[in-house]
Structure 1
């Protein structure tokens, strides 16, 4: 079910070893990259350091239960899909899990095929980003001109500036989604192309460079905006 070119990354949080290993094996057979942990705090730590396409989260775990873990992740403005697994089957438990930010809720024991279908659906939904606007190889706006193919730009002072491959790719992504907030996770996935995060400073420094090139007043940017805790936005 997982795509062959991009192997979606799953985090499985389950304190029962046999269940954890069974889930890991079956997800790997489906082509997913799988990380496993056995307690709540380990989930929080993993999510801070790595990008995941989906978290499969047991509710009854030591140190911190799954509901609290989910709530903590959502408070960090992270919208990674979360599927709860639980032995609890009451309507109230389902409602509580979904109210706290869960995307799906499956009770144990579960049908493996159903689990795989639900995982595929959540991963597929998460991968979708709005269709990019068509942007030519040369893009003009008030701040200057960007030549994506040549990896260079003309800045606000009509001076030519060289761009790194990553800078050009990030500029293309932001201009293709002009007016939309592009999340940090989407930038890392599309521009960097891997799951382990560089530091937040890496992207911030790129944005600072863009402001030096294109903004009349870099302290009050008109074009390149940082949306705290969420991502970045370009406005023409």
Structure 2
């Protein structure tokens, strides 16, 4: 997963990032609330971990602003504010969890995994033996161990699944590419087809069809 961590305690931020990255996640750190908006403008994240008392803009206002902009990325608060009013406000704003400082990094990791297990169960789409979460890109049923599709392949597969059995135009599919071109689309679709072992038909000059199973 790609995680954005808002934490102005440099030592804590560094230790949390190192711990989560050992589990295979990618963590970007920012120290102030305004920097969150710069980061989210550049990148798409799977999770926000937000401290509350930070420079520029507090964590409550940050999440409220993100929500108002239509950003539904799950967020966890980590804070030394342990009063009931602060905890209640965090959940009212839309946080999926609230962790009181100090805490063991392993507890944070476990809570993150629980959140995404629940989200995956809620949003999973089945296609033959494949179970696919269009939000996280998690795939089960292809290899012995689950894996995650990259952002481009995730978007393409989600779009094909929405219209399985029907034609999806090349122009629409190319919108998911970082550098769209007919050649790039052909290569990416071939890789997706091979990676998942699925039947995708190329209708020359028009688009692609994910065959029904």
**TM-score of the pair, normalised by structure 2:** 0.61
Instruction: Map 1:71-150 to 2 at 5 A.
Output: 71-127=64-120, 129-132=123-126
Contact 2:16/2:105 (8 A) holds in 1: no
Larger Rg computed on CA atoms: 1
Q: Is 1:172 the equivalent of 2:166? A: no
Q: Return 5+ residue gaps in structure 2 as ranges.
A: 129-152, 167-172, 182-205, 207-213
Contact 2:78/2:100 (8 A) holds in 1: yes
Q: Is 1:9 the equivalent of 2:36? A: no
Residues 114, 48 of structure 1: CA spacing in aligned structure 2 closer, same or farther, 3 A cutoff?
Answer: same
Residues 173, 49 of structure 1: CA spacing in aligned structure 2 closer, same or farther, 3 A cutoff?
Answer: farther
Q: Which consecutive aligned stretches of 4+ in structure 1 deviate over 2 angstroms post-superposition?
A: 122-130, 165-171
Instruction: Map 1:141-160 to 2 at 5 A.
Output: none
Deviations 1:154-179 (A, max 9, x none): xxxxxxxxxxx999756513214x9x
Contact 1:86/1:108 (8 A) holds in 2: yes
Deviations 1:24-50 (A, max 9, x none): 110111111111111111112212221
Provide the aligned C-alpha RMSD in A: 3.2
Q: Return 5+ residue gaps in structure 1 as ranges.
A: 1-7, 135-164, 179-186, 193-197, 203-212, 214-236
Match of 1:66 in 2: 59
Which protein, 1 or 2, shows the higher relative CO under an 8 Å CA cutoff with sep ≥ 6? 1
Deviations 1:52-87 (A, max 9, x none): 111110001100000000101111111111000110
